[in-house]
Amino acid sequence: MVVSNSIPYICGYSVPGLRSNTGVSGGILMHLAGITPPLNLHTMSHFISLTEAKAMTTRYKNDREGILKHEYQQRNILVLSETFDRAAFDTLLAKPGCAGLRFYYGMMPDLQVRLIAVAIDQEGHDIITQRTDELEENRVHDDIVEKGTTCPPICPLSPAL
């Protein structure tokens, strides 16, 4: 919606120079303008129904190989699931200032896609202790979770999804 002075309001913020009559969504306009929309963890609902979850995982299982180029198919690059110990997430959630978790997708040298988790603060910033030297950056600390058990090869016997 364009208001006075042709300054659209997106997520409660005025964005000079952006017009909402471009047919482009406000979120895309904010991204193109280099503006990060505010993160409101308390009003976001992250829950979905079992029916929706089953539909999503079934679609993924059926189409995951088809979205890859032929030379990457049948290499388990896109795993079906990844399982983690609760203690890893408890450690992240116990970080001072932690308001939630962010999941990144990373890639192993064999091109397998893996999940990487970090704690985030209320503003959505990653909570990762900055290391002062390369030796410290290469050590394993408790700021970043990865190393989950992937399916395949180790899969649940009777998955709910």
**What number is the average pLDDT over the span 148-161?**
89
Tell me the pLDDT tens digit for each residue of 77-115: 999 999 999 999 999 999 999 999 999 999 999 999 999
User: Does residue 43 form part of some domain?
Assistant: no
For residue 123, the tally of other CB atoms under 10 A from its CB is 11
pTM given for the model: 0.69
Do 55 and 131 sit in the same domain of this protein? yes
Tell me the pLDDT tens digit for each residue of 140-153: 778 888 989 999 99
Q: For CA atoms 134, 91, 126, 77, give the dihedral sign.
A: positive
What tokens does 4 get?
């006075």
pLDDT of 132 higher than 90: no
User: Of all residues in the chain, what percent carry a pLDDT higher than 70?
Assistant: 68
* Structure confidence at residue 14 (pLDDT): 40
Do 33 and 56 sit in the same domain of this protein? no
pLDDT of 62 higher than 90: yes
Domain count, the chain: 2
Do 121 and 60 sit in the same domain of this protein? yes
Residue 89 burial (C-beta neighbours within 10 Å; 0-12, 13-18, 19+): middle
Of 19-33, 34-48, 74-88, 140-154, the one with minimum mean pLDDT is 19-33
What are the residues whose beta carbons fall under 8 Å from the beta carbon of 76, sequence distance 6 or more? 112, 150, 152, 153
Do 141 and 96 sit in the same domain of this protein? yes
Do 100 and 75 sit in the same domain of this protein? yes
Domain that holds residue 54: 50-151
As a whole number, the mean pLDDT across the chain is 78
pLDDT of 13 higher than 80: no
Do 139 and 73 sit in the same domain of this protein? yes
User: Does residue 156 form part of some domain?
Assistant: no
- Work out whether strand 113-120 and strand 144-145 pair parallel, antiparallel, or are unpaired: antiparallel
Long-range contacts of 37-46 (CB under 8 A, 24+ apart): 37/10, 37/11, 37/13, 38/11, 38/12, 38/13, 39/120, 39/122, 39/123, 39/124, 41/99, 41/100, 41/122
